[in-house]
Structure 1
Amino acid sequence: MTILSVSELNEQIRSLLESHFLSLYVRGEVSRPTYHSSGHLYFTLKDEKSSIRCVMFRRDLQNVPFRVEEGQHLLLTGRIGLYAPRGEYQIYVKELHPDGTGSLQLAFEQLKKRLQAQGYFDRSRPLPSFVRSLALVTSQSGAALQDMLRIIQSRWPLVRVYVVDTLVQGKEAAKEIAQTLKVADSLEVDVVVVGRGGGSVEDLWAFNEEIVAQAIFEMSKPVVSAVGHEIDYVISDFVADHRAPTPSAAMEMVLPDQREWLVRIDELLEKLDHRIEAILGQKGAEVEHLLSLAKHQSPQRRLAFLSQQVEALEREMGQLFEMRLLYKERQLPQIRQSLEAVVHDRLKLKESELGHLMERFEMAMEAKRLPNKSAQIVKEGRVVSLEEVDVGDRLELWDMDYKVEVSVDAKTKI
């Protein structure tokens, strides 16, 4: 009879178990899962009648996208081994998957639930009415970038665009996207759009990683997530301030339509023109009325009255131009320089017309300062003395009642 030591017995049992159970598939419910500081996972797998201990080492556990939790039903792949110091056999797990649902779907639901509880989905900052600069975090070689640039060109080509290149799929994509988002947030931009075109769940998975969600949550700029197609939802959609179903739709969401705004600008300019013409017409009529009144008053009273009216007109005209500038600042901040030149030319024309009226008024005032029966000499639109008159000049003689056009045939000094 052979007498074995405990160690020898355990070694024979280990050899027997490992030779017969090199690879097996086991289904069961998780109990008492423990993530050890070493990076290994320990848990018990059980059914209605029995249970078995399981261990999954760190090198294999890092390939599992979801977190193992109490009560989950798992399907695992592994081998039987014996832990000799305690004489306990256990399953050394190589792979594990949710029983009845996909690993990625479970990981998605777990992370979504946890981030929602932490308030990551609560923020929704508004987008600016006019986006002057924009950062696009995407692959520089992807079709999504070309789609976005095409929409930008047709919709609002005035926007300044920064393309921040990044990987959008693969093992290193999530880490690079998170780093690139920080770069985009440091730029002088109004909005950041992060996204890519369509693909499989695995292709889009980088946007479901917690590191990307954390980077979006920490950004100071409004963020639009535009990943995949309309039916695709990723974690970044929930954390971002806004979600667009496609990258092209993101551009339509963020940027104004230049055709709509050109129509609005034309309407505003037309209203502004009508308002200015109405006010200038009213003021011109007031000047004509004042000139008429001046003929029926004494020189002193007429001078005092007209001085008051001139001051009032100056104030009102100043207010008119201030109102025009304020109106323009509030209503037309995006008019191009060419449109501003049109408005400026129209205003100069109206101001010139008013200037002619004021010039007539000033001439009338000059005439009033002359002694009775005296006339005012006007040469080429300005009042002159006889000393400035030359033979052959065409002149106008003004008094309060008449204007006479004359030609100088001779000039003699007295």
Structure 2
Amino acid sequence: MSELKPLTITALTKYIKRKFDVDPHLQDVWLKGEISNFKQHSRGHMYFTLKDEHARMSAVMFSSQNKNLPFTPENGMKVLARGEVSVYEGSGNYQLYIRDMQPDGVGSLHLAYEQLKNKLEGEGLFDPRIKKPLPLYPNLVGVVTSPTGAAVRDIMTTIKRRYPVAQIILIPALVQGDRAPASIVSGIKKAKDINADVLIIGRGGGSIEELWGFNDEKVARAIYESTLPIISAVGHETDFTIADFVADMRAPTPTAAAELAVPNLTEVLERISQRKIRLTRAISSHITAKKTRLERTEKSYAFRYPTKLLEQKEQQLDLLLDRLHKESKRIAMRKEEKFSYIKRRLLTHHPYARLKEADRERERLTRLLQKDITTVLNAKKMLLSSQMAKLNALSPLKIMERGYSLVYNEEEKLVKSTKGVAKGETVTLRLKDGSIDCLVEDIRSGENE
């Protein structure tokens, strides 16, 4: 029998822990359970047990993970916890290391809320630049809410107290349950049909499940597409729904929504009274200023002595007419002088005068050209006669007239020596009046031969 090699507890625990840590199914798990044995360490870490009807397991949530929890865990609270399952080597127990935790029943709704919020925000439905302004003095206020809730009473009471001249039309709608979104959308469309100036939609406070109708995508898009300015008043001041983000104005409570929808009539009347007083004062001041100006005008010289003023104006008119006559004559003379100057310049540069001058210049140049041609022609004739005389003196024809002739061989080359021909060869003698073909019978060279 081979020798046993037992494992240490530490080694086995490490082995089991590695098995847990490499299992992908244990790296990201959601668990649903009830909190028990809750304890928060002085350093902020949370230690507790998660349990259901048949099992329980240890859980820990470190301070770096739990510092942003929107709620405080308590014993008996049902939660949804997300984290990884591993082994704590010190005790050998497996436990859940929690990264995120939400109250059960709210967690799924909260996730859906965040997803829809991010989607609509990305599409631009929350853009403050597209928010419609609320009317200053609405005649008709529409209210989409439950006809039996406290919210409608608060809204109507506030509007009647602040601005009793406005008409209020209640558009009943379901504000809780599965049919609430369709009912709210229908109410928004009816408000457009009755030509409301402003619309309030909302309800009183409640849990997230009770307010969920106002987190519906159809409701959000109906608010966005509405041509009416809409005030959202859902829940209490700390409650925020998708409708609040899409609406043109968000009110923390239904009462606040009514205060935003209509002005305070007492304050309006007070402002009107103050402006009436200011307007009366302004008109009175304006009339006083005009009266003063009128009195000053009535006391002026023109109104007191109109005949004398007329006589002065007549005299001024005569002076102006004289100045006008003189100035007209002066201008006319200047224009005539300018006209005469231009006329003289025009005549000087008239084409006819320039044409005659050019014709005279042409005749002069023609005479000069004819004279130069005659001179050149005579000189050329004299040169030609001289050259012809020299040419005739050197011409072979003149020599041939004295009895000389030229001898050409059979190749039509001039024979200048007896060496240029051979015995028996035919040569041509050219005389002044023709040529003679001769046969060479003998060749003699030298003067004595």
The TM-score normalised by the length of structure 2 is 0.44
